Amino acid sequence: MEAVKSLFEERKELFNNAIQMMPNKRTPMYSNFWTWKILDSEYTLREALYNYDIMEKVVCDFHNRYQFDAYADLGTRNPMRVSDAFGVGFHKIDDKYEAIVVDDHKLMERDEYKEFINDQLKFNWEKTFARYAPNLTIKQLQNAAMEFAAFGQYSQKITTKFLMEYQVPLLPSSPASMPLEFFFSLYRGIKELSIDLRKCKVDLIEAMNAVYKTTTEPLTRSTLSSDTSSAFCDTACYFLGHSILSEKQFEELYWIYFSQCLNDVMAKNKTMFIFCESTLKRFADFFKDIPKGVLMIHLEQDNILEMHKELPNICFMGGMTSDLLGNGTKQQCVDFTKKLIDELGEGYVFSTNKMMSFRNDCRRENLLAVTDFVRNYKH
Amino acid sequence: MDDQKVSFTYPDGFIQAANSLEFLPDEESRKQFLGILVTSLLIM
């Protein structure tokens, strides 16, 4: 007699079968809902983001309403209380438009790559942090440290609740960020890094080699050696900075590091989840020879049906558009969901094609209709 | 002391700032926490 599986085991099996492209009981569902879930609640962005009890209620109500199998965000994306405690921050709440806006910024100058390489912690303290919070007092630092600890407690509490009580597999911890991402998102910003690619590529490569050795490689290897059984994949990687690269630049500045991480993943017979912001299509050739059962890629702006034809060896996630969820009828949304599941088949995880953030990204009745359909549909 | 501005020199200013985090037990754990805080904040 077969033992009764727990809900957690069922969900893990759904993701595992999808990445291995094996027949599944149904298609797994992954929530790519961010601040939209606050707008779907009775609270404002400001109320939820500044009160962890309210945020917990928002996130739990969202799960109870839609019952996704895994989540990109559990209310930990915008820790406004921490950055506010420093008296700074690049994120601001726009109450009128119900949005969080972020400024492109730089915390490092073009001629500072060598300083960065010499001692990253020294550089972070003397340069980047000094620019981030130039007027910081000891008292503010102490308060910010307490806020950081409180944020950590919320994060731990909500993660444990989803794992133990709701039996939801978690996102893989400690994503293997590729070296370019540090300069794209943290130090140089989108505009400045785009210019660095032409003006000081050698310095950038030296700095990326340093980041790979000090951070990317050891973090990837330690994650792959750790217990990953609570997550739906063994490790994760977020592609953001690739969006400003040509194919040649991708090979030279991104793939060279990513392929080493991927080799580590395959050598240990593990799996990797990739969230791919923007598009991946122009780099599809790089992924053609990767064996089935290794990668699960969440696509954003690509046509997922075309990508599936081009890369049948990859398990894709995404597909449902915010345009349809926000403006279509329930029937249109369900019809498109059925098309996605029927055409993408076994190696597919249902999700949305963008980080759902704005009120018009989705209507509650449409999301209820599609999540109910996916839970009950067997292709 | 509370109104004193943080010194962004390394290592002296960093160690002084770390040691103001008195809820942690020793200098090593305070330095480690501050290092994580600084790095995490840049990501946030």
The pLDDT, as a whole number, for residue B1 is: 55
**Pair A338, A17: CB distance under 8 Å:** no
Q: What is the Cα–Cα distance from A291 to A14, expressed in whole angstroms? A: 19
Q: Please state the pTM of the whole predicted model.
A: 0.95
**Pair A310, A282: CB distance under 8 Å:** no
At residue A145, does pLDDT exceed 90? yes
What integer is the mean pLDDT of A19-32?
Answer: 97
- CA nearest A184: which of A241, A257, A114? A241
**pLDDT-based confidence at A333, cuts 50/70/90?**
very high
Q: Which residue has the tokens 């790979």?
A: A212
To which H or E segment does residue A20 belong?
helix A7-20
Residues 6+ apart with CB under 8 A from A294: A19, A262, A265, A266, A271, A272
| DSSP string for A218-248 | HHHHHHHHS--TTBSSSEEEEE-GGGG--HH
Chain A residues in contact with B39 (beta carbon < 8 A) = 124
At residue A1, does pLDDT exceed 60? no
* Token pair belonging to A253: 């500045």
Q: Which of A89, A126, A135 sits opposite B10 (nearest CB)?
A: A126
| DSSP string for A93-113 | EETTTTEEEE----SS-GGGH
At residue A53, does pLDDT exceed 90? yes
To which H or E segment does residue A317 belong?
strand A315-320
C-beta atoms of A125 and B40 within 8 A:
no
As a whole number of angstroms, the longest Cα–Cα distance in chain A is 68
Q: Are strands A91-94 and A99-102 parallel, antiparallel or unpaired?
A: antiparallel
| DSSP string for A330-343 | HHHHHHHHHHHHHH
* Token pair belonging to A45: 């962005």
* Token pair belonging to A146: 């307490």
C-beta atoms of A129 and B8 within 8 A:
yes
Residues A241-287 have pLDDT tens digits of 999 999 999 999 999 999 999 999 999 999 999 999 999 999 999 99
Average pLDDT, chain A: 95
| DSSP string for B1-44 | -TTPBPP--TTHHHHHHHHT-TTSSSHHHHHHHHHHHHHHHHH-
Residues A336-373 have pLDDT tens digits of 999 999 999 999 999 999 999 999 999 999 999 999 99
**pLDDT-based confidence at A2, cuts 50/70/90?**
low
The pLDDT, as a whole number, for residue A92 is: 86
Q: What is the Cα–Cα distance from A357 to A114, expressed in whole angstroms? A: 38
A316: helix, strand or coil: strand
Q: What is the Cα–Cα distance from A186 to A290, expressed in whole angstroms? A: 30
Chain B residues in contact with A149 (beta carbon < 8 A) = 23
Cβ of residue A130 closer than 8 Å to a chain B Cβ: yes
Question: How far from A312 is each of A144, A255, B35, CA to CA, in Å?
Answer: 48, 20, 43
Q: What is the Cα–Cα distance from A143 to A108, expressed in whole angstroms? A: 26
What integer is the mean pLDDT of A208-229?
Answer: 95
At residue B43, does pLDDT exceed 90? no
Question: How far from A320 is each of A304, A309, A356, CA to CA, in Å?
Answer: 9, 17, 11
At residue A159, does pLDDT exceed 60? yes
What integer is the mean pLDDT of A115-133?
Answer: 94
Q: Which residue of B has its CA nearest to A135?
A: B5
The pLDDT, as a whole number, for residue B39 is: 82
Q: Which residue of B has its CA nearest to A86?
A: B41
Give chain A's radius of gyration (CA, Å): 21
Q: Which residue of A has its CA nearest to B34?
A: A145
